[in-house]
């Protein structure tokens, strides 16, 4: 009897283990399917192109119809991008709105008109019929889907002054809002190829003055968008704030110190009203260099790229600079550092 009971227990255990194994395999398949649905892994678009379209006023896009080096966009994606851009133009949407829409479509569907998605999400923007976006047939019409996206975007007060991730999240209500940041440069490249032009892509005077070294540093920094923050990390898969700036400027041939506090004296001090792309901004306790705890890189104008804190991947955002007597962000130091430049000497 003892042997029979033991044998039955072993048989049941084996059955349970087999059932558990099948459940784990099924869950793995679901995770892989969701990754495909949301376009998180897109072989043909995974590497952001750092030199093509204009972004945050840093560089003008290439001439319409030209393709930036390394850009690999399928015919389907080009057609869908053209539909988004054409729809936005008809609605008089500024180029920044077109840029946001393209980045959202890249993240949500890989610029593919999907027939599936999370729950009832469909189409380029993964819009849900059950949430009032339209019928299944309508949200899979690229022109209709783009129209609905732009209508929601244009209804957001102050959207033109928002970072891309904030504007996109306000419309999409995504569970992963920072994921849009990784497509900023690729969306700019696609917009340029689809008809964006220097005349309609706002540039600023400081951007034109950025040195070749600074452009290399910016290129390297933007290639890290979306990678996780890890304290003490210097790449290639994760970064902290000073690790990102050090890696970016190292690619430009400038060796910065390891910490943000040390970087706060590693170059020429420049007033914030003379800020150029590639310059480093610092935050310190009491606005003192001795209390520096964070560093970010200027993209030109009021845009920065940073690795800010655990749980927030490398991202771009707007920074509040002191203007017209109004103070800047809390604890932002009143000067920037220009790596690779030396302070002017006095006789």
Could you report the per-residue pLDDT of 33-86, keeping only the tens digit for each? 433 333 333 333 333 333 445 544 433 333 333 333 334 678 899 999 999 999
DSSP 62: P
Number of residues that make up the chain: 347
Q: Does residue 21 or residue 231 have the better pLDDT?
A: 231
Kindly state the average pLDDT of the residues 214-233. 93
Q: How far is Cα 32 from Cα 180, in angstroms, rounded to an integer?
A: 20
Q: Does residue 200 or residue 181 have the better pLDDT?
A: 181
Q: How confident is the model at residue 345 (pLDDT cuts 50, 70, 90)?
A: very low
Give whole-number Cα distances, 48 to 72, 234, 339, in Å.
Answer: 10, 19, 24
Residue 182's pLDDT is 77
Please list the alpha-helical segments (H only) found in 129-176.
136-139, 142-154, 164-172
Q: How many CB atoms lie within 10 A of CB 33?
A: 11
The ranges assigned to domains in the chain are 37-203, 206-338
Q: How confident is the model at residue 17 (pLDDT cuts 50, 70, 90)?
A: low
Could you report the per-residue pLDDT of 114-165, keeping only the tens digit for each? 999 988 999 999 999 999 999 999 999 999 999 999 999 999 998 988 878 8
The answer to whether the CB of 46 falls within 8 A of the CB of 183 is no
Q: Cα 119 from chain centroid?
A: 25
Kindly state the average pLDDT of the residues 214-243. 94
Tokens of 226: 């979306």
Q: How confident is the model at residue 205 (pLDDT cuts 50, 70, 90)?
A: very low
Quick check: 198 pLDDT over 70? Answer: no
Pairing label, strands 268-271, 315-318 = unpaired
Kindly state the average pLDDT of the residues 165-185. 82
The answer to whether the CB of 275 falls within 8 A of the CB of 205 is no
Give whole-number Cα distances, 34 to 27, 244, 295, in Å.
Answer: 11, 30, 35
Tokens of 51: 């030199």
Q: How far is Cα 102 from Cα 190, in angstroms, rounded to an integer?
A: 8
pTM confidence score: 0.50
Q: How far is Cα 271 from Cα 189, in angstroms, rounded to an integer?
A: 32
Tokens of 288: 């003192």
The answer to whether the CB of 338 falls within 8 A of the CB of 268 is yes
Residue with the two structure tokens 């840093």? 58
Q: Does residue 19 or residue 146 have the better pLDDT?
A: 146
Tokens of 308: 């800010």
Those residues with Cβ within 8 angstroms of residue 268's Cβ, 6 or more apart along the chain or in another chain:
337, 338, 341, 342, 343, 344
> What fold does the segment set 206-338 form as a domain?
endopeptidase fold (from Nostoc punctiforme) (3.90.1720)
Q: How far is Cα 186 from Cα 73, in angstroms, rounded to an integer?
A: 10
Instruction: Return the minimum-mean-pLDDT range out of 6-20, 144-158, 161-175, 243-257.
Output: 6-20
Half-sphere exposure of residue 331: CA atoms within 13 angstroms, side-chain side: 10
Rama region for 126: left / alpha / beta (φ>0; ψ in -120 to 50; rest): left
DSSP secondary structure string for all residues of 178-197: GGGGGGHHHHHHHHHHTT--
Residue 41's pLDDT is 31
DSSP 323: B
Q: How confident is the model at residue 288 (pLDDT cuts 50, 70, 90)?
A: confident
Quick check: 273 pLDDT over 50? Answer: yes
Residue 210's pLDDT is 59
Helices 95-109 and 142-154: angle between axes, nearest 10 degrees = 120
Q: How far is Cα 1 from Cα 15, in angstroms, rounded to an integer?
A: 21
- Burial (CB < 10 A; 0-12, 13-18, 19+), residue 245, is buried
Q: Which of 268, 297, 276, 270 is nearest to 204 (CA)?
A: 276
Q: Which of 265, 249, 242 is nearest to 211 (CA)?
A: 249
Q: Does residue 325 or residue 311 have the better pLDDT?
A: 311
Tokens of 224: 């890290």
Q: What percentage of residues in the chain have a pLDDT greater than 70?
A: 72
């Amino acid at each position: 009897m003892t042997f029979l009971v033991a044998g039955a227990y072993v048989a049941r255990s084996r059955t349970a283990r087999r059932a558990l194994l099948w459940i784990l395999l099924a869950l793995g398949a679901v995770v892989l399917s969701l990754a495909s649905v949301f376009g998180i892994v897109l072989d043909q678009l995974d590497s952001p192109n750092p030199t093509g379209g204009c972004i945050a006023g840093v560089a003008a896009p290439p001439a319409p119809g030209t393709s930036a080096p390394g850009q690999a966009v399928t015919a389907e994606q080009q057609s869908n991008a053209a539909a988004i851009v054409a729809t936005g133009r008809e609605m008089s949407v500024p180029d920044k709105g077109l840029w946001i829409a393209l980045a959202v479509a890249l993240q949500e569907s890989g610029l593919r008109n999907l027939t599936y998605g999370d729950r009832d999400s469909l189409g380029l923007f993964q819009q849900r019929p059950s949430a009032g976006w339209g019928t299944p047939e309508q949200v899979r019409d690229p022109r209709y889907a783009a129209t609905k996206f732009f209508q929601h975007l244009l209804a957001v007060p102050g959207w033109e002054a928002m970072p891309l991730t904030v504007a996109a999240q306000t419309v999409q209500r995504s569970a992963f809002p920072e994921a849009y940041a990784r497509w900023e440069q690729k969306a700019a490249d696609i917009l340029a190829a689809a008809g964006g032009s220097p005349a309609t892509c706002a540039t600023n005077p400081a951007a034109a003055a950025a040195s070749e070294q600074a452009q290399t540093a910016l290129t390297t920094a933007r290639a890290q968008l979306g990678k996780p923050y890890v304290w003490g990390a210097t790449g290639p898969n994760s970064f902290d704030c000073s690790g990102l700036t050090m890696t970016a400027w190292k690619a430009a041939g400038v060796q910065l110190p390891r910490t943000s506090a040390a970087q706060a004296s590693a170059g020429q001090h420049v007033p914030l009203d003379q800020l150029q792309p590639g310059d480093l901004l610092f935050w310190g306790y009491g606005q003192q260099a001795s209390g520096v705890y964070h560093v970010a890189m200027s993209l030109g104008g009021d845009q920065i790229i940073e690795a800010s804190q655990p749980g927030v991947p490398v991202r771009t955002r707007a920074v509040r600079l002191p203007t017209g007597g109004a103070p800047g962000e809390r604890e932002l130091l009143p000067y920037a550092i220009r790596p690779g430049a030396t302070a002017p000497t006095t006789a």
